[in-house]
């Protein structure tokens, strides 16, 4: 089998397309045209002699072979970046206090930290998982350096994308038929609760709050047990639960404005500069595939 060497540029192009969700989103990050990005992917597929990506109208999907190569590609690029940083990189150290709500942590924060940690191993990251309503005042007081938040309509931070909100219920219980409909909600000041109540009011539906908690795990348990239906961010809705909509007598919900919010107290930190920039570059097109 005559296999070609896998060039760093091809692997970087492949990983960037996966992380950003499309060729058009990857192009500006790679400082290449969309056609050049497509050509790089073609060369990589020719080198490994298999298809790596399935490109549909709205999204990019990995083939099984692409999933395997992605793991190797990330490791190769991480080691390559580590070698470059050892000779030419900026030495960073210190501690970053980073806040994120539970529902954004896995999908949106994990890929960012996977890219940041190998490049800046001297930086310690303290992760604080709380709801946005708790993180926002902590950013403004300087208690946290940086946070990924759902902003409450004010111009807090740097807007990255709009996260869809959905009604969720257990397929075993048709609670949406009840009058008043039982709902589980977050704390009183949360945007999710306001959106749920406004949507029910517009549909002329009566409701009763049967569970209230800032815990995502608690919200999921309330839905799974048949206690209530709830409003979740789309990225946090478990696959085994049912997404409800107009056919269930439930109206649309306003999407969340997701932003990266930085404290004034961290303005002189180069470590926070780099993580803030990486959050923006990685997540700005996270949903706009």
Q: How far apart are CA 14 and CA 6, in angstroms?
A: 11
- Same structural domain, 179 and 192: yes
State yes or no: pLDDT of 89 exceeds 70.
no
pLDDT score at 87? 76
Summarize the confidence of residues 265-270 as an average pLDDT: 90
Domain tally for the chain?
3
Domain contains 3: no
Q: How far apart are CA 162 and CA 285, in angstroms?
A: 10
- Same structural domain, 174 and 150: no
From the CA atom positions of the chain, what is the Rg in Å?
22
Angle between helix 34-48 and 8-20 (nearest 10) = 120
Are residues 94 and 143 in contact, defined by beta-carbon separation less than 8 angstroms?
A: no
State yes or no: pLDDT of 153 exceeds 70.
no
pLDDT score at 90? 65
Q: How, if at all, do strands 94-100 and 146-151 pair?
A: parallel
- Same structural domain, 191 and 216: yes
DSSP for 244-270? E-GGGT----PPEEEEEEE-GGGTT-H
pLDDT score at 58? 61
Summarize the confidence of residues 79-108 as an average pLDDT: 83
Q: How far apart are CA 33 and CA 89, in angstroms?
A: 27
Q: Which residue has the higher pLDDT, 285 or 130?
A: 130
Q: How far apart are CA 206 and CA 209, in angstroms?
A: 10
- Same structural domain, 263 and 155: yes
Q: How many CB atoms lie within 10 A of CB 123?
A: 19
Domain contains 53: yes
pLDDT score at 289? 34
Per-residue pLDDT tens for 8-63?
A: 999 999 988 887 778 887 887 788 899 999 999 999 999 999 999 987 766 788 99
For tokens 């708790």, what's the residue? 134
State yes or no: pLDDT of 189 exceeds 80.
no
Average pLDDT of the chain to the nearest whole number: 87
Cβ neighbours of residue 191 under 8 Å, at least 6 residues apart?
Answer: 132, 150, 152, 153, 254, 256
Q: Model pTM?
A: 0.69
pLDDT score at 11? 94
Cβ neighbours of residue 131 under 8 Å, at least 6 residues apart?
Answer: 101, 186, 187, 190, 214
Per-residue pLDDT tens for 227-242?
A: 999 999 998 999 899 9
- Same structural domain, 201 and 248: yes
pLDDT above 90: percentage of residues in the chain = 51
Per-residue pLDDT tens for 213-229?
A: 888 899 999 999 999 99
Q: Can you give the CATH number for the domain in which 183 is found?
A: 3.40.190.10
- Same structural domain, 150 and 269: yes
């Amino acid at each position: 089998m005559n296999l070609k060497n896998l060039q760093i540029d091809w692997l970087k192009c492949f990983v960037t397309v996966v992380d950003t969700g499309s060729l058009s989103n990857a192009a500006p990050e790679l400082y290449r045209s969309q056609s050049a990005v497509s050509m790089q992917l073609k060369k990589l597929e020719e080198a490994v002699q298999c298809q790596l990506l399935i490109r549909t109208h709205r999204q990019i999907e990995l083939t099984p072979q692409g999933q395997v190569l992605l793991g190797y590609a990330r490791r190769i690029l991480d080691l390559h970046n580590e070698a470059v940083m050892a000779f030419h990189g900026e030495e960073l150290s210190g501690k970053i206090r980073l806040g994120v709500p539970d529902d954004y942590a896995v999908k949106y924060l994990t890929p960012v930290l996977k890219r940041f940690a190998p490049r800046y191993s001297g930086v310690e990251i303290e992760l604080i998982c709380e709801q946005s309503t708790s993180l926002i005042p902590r950013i403004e007081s300087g208690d946290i350096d940086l946070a990924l938040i759902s902003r409450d309509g004010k111009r807090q931070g740097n807007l990255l994308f709009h996260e869809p909100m959905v009604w969720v219920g257990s397929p075993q219980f048709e609670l949406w038929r009840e009058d008043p409909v039982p709902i589980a909600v977050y704390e009183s000041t949360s945007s999710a609760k306001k959106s749920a109540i406004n949507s029910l009011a517009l549909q002329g539906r009566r409701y009763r709050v049967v569970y209230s908690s800032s815990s995502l795990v608690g919200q999921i348990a309330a839905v799974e047990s048949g206690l209530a239906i709830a409003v979740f961010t789309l990225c946090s809705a478990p696959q085994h639960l049912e997404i409800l909509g107009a056919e269930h007598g439930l109206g649309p919900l306003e999407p969340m404005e997701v932003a990266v919010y930085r404290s004034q107290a961290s303005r002189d930190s180069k470590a926070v500069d780099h993580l803030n920039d990486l959050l923006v570059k990685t997540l700005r097109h996270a949903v706009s595939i």
